[in-house]
Structure 1
Amino acid sequence: MMGYFCKFSSRLSERSGVIRKTHAGVKSFARDQRGVSAVEFALLLPVMILIYAGVADVSRGVDANRKVSRVASMVGDLISRQISVMPAQLDDVFKIGATLMIPSGTAPEIRVSFIKVEAVKNSPNLTVKLDWSQKTAGFKESSNRVDRENKQTYLPENLRQEPMNYIRVEAQYTYKPLLSAVLPDIAMEEIYYISPRYSDTIRYGNGK
């Protein structure tokens, strides 16, 4: 009987030792901070990537919008220096303007219109007339016929006050965000007006 009690006590002591070691191991594991930084970094990494990509998108978008404005102004300035233009010359000017968007993978779409503000005969009123226009193949116009026709001769009110001729340049560009999987493309447009520099009018093609 005494031998059995000794064996039982020995086994109980061994089990108690195992329990104490297990408890000590659990407490030690709970206090161990060595892996916390790695876990936190793994949780924060996707958020950090989204923030970085968002900031980069905003910066690229602002830069693209500024370039679209420069395209419109440069194309208008080049044409305003001419006395006459041929369709092929305007195509070359469009290509020159597109180089401002480098290193973007897409070129802007451009339309140039020559608009005249003329006095109506025997009347104090003025009328706005489209003299000529040329655009790139991908230039997007309104699907509504009335809106399309109105835009062809559109001038701001302050440019309609006296007889004058204007070059109107419209530059369109579609910005594709870095986060294109979650953000839509952004359509950008800039309209620029300038008067001819060296003559009252600019002839188009072989027109007199």
Structure 2
Amino acid sequence: MTGPGKAQGFLSRLRGDRRGVSAVEFALIAPIMIAFYFGLAEFCQGYMAQKRMAHTASAVADLVAQTDVVTNDELDDIIAIGGLMMKPFSSTTLTTRISSVTRDANGVAKVDWSRASGVTAYTPGGTVTVPADIISNGESAVMTETTYDYTSPIKYLMPAVTKFSSAFYLRPRRVDKVLCSNCPTS
């Protein structure tokens, strides 16, 4: 049998043949699933970097708030510890600033001392913005600010550098104000 009858028989068999449907469906869905997987993996890495940076700000403020008096060298060591806390992420783009601030009788928060790495320290006596519910007039707090420039290794979902930042405020534990014995003061 040749001609139109053979062609119709072939088309009839082809239309009824379900072999390979799963392979075609997989071929259509696989790229989307792979893209979701890489996007989720990249998002999770960025989220972990942001959480580590925020935890660094918290821990640095906590270490300073537990002391009565600190020195520049101790502050530098505490900042270095913060860099170690970023592992396995690189700490080269981590900036940290530790400051002691006191709210005066007029409600203005002024810097008592400040130490920084990767960013400029505040000028002692200068004013900073501290949320109103953190300290009252006459009280002080240890303020730590960190920023981190995260570069994704995959660059699929986050192709550019993402800048994370965190500020953490903690009241001194054992004294009214943490002093710095050899920091510049106003």
TM, length-normalised to structure 2? 0.77
Q: Is the 8 A contact 2:149 2:161 kept in 1?
A: yes
Offset of 1:182 from its aligned partner?
4.6
Distance in 2, Cα, partners of 1:65 & 1:48 = 26
Q: Tell me what 1:193 maps to.
A: 169
Offset of 1:97 from its aligned partner?
1.9
Q: Which has the larger radius of gyration?
A: 1
Query: Secondary structure at 1:199's aligned position in 2?
Result: coil
What percent identity do the matched residue pairs reach?
28
> What amino acid maps onto 1:167 in structure 2?
V
Aligned residues: 178
Query: Secondary structure at 1:79's aligned position in 2?
Result: helix
Matching of residue 18 in structure 1 with residue 35 in structure 2: no
Q: Tell me what 2:37 maps to.
A: 52
Offset of 1:74 from its aligned partner?
0.7
Distance in 2, Cα, partners of 1:129 & 1:60 = 37
**Greater share of helix:** 1
Q: Is the 8 A contact 2:70 2:178 kept in 1?
A: yes
Q: Tell me what 1:28 maps to.
A: 13
> What amino acid maps onto 1:86 in structure 2?
T
Cα RMSD (Å)? 3.0
Q: 1:73 to 1:44 in 2, by over 3 A?
A: same
Matching of residue 172 in structure 1 with residue 147 in structure 2: yes
Offset of 1:51 from its aligned partner?
1.8
TM, length-normalised to structure 1? 0.70
Can you give the 5+ residue segments of structure 2 that lack an aligned partner in the other structure?
A: none
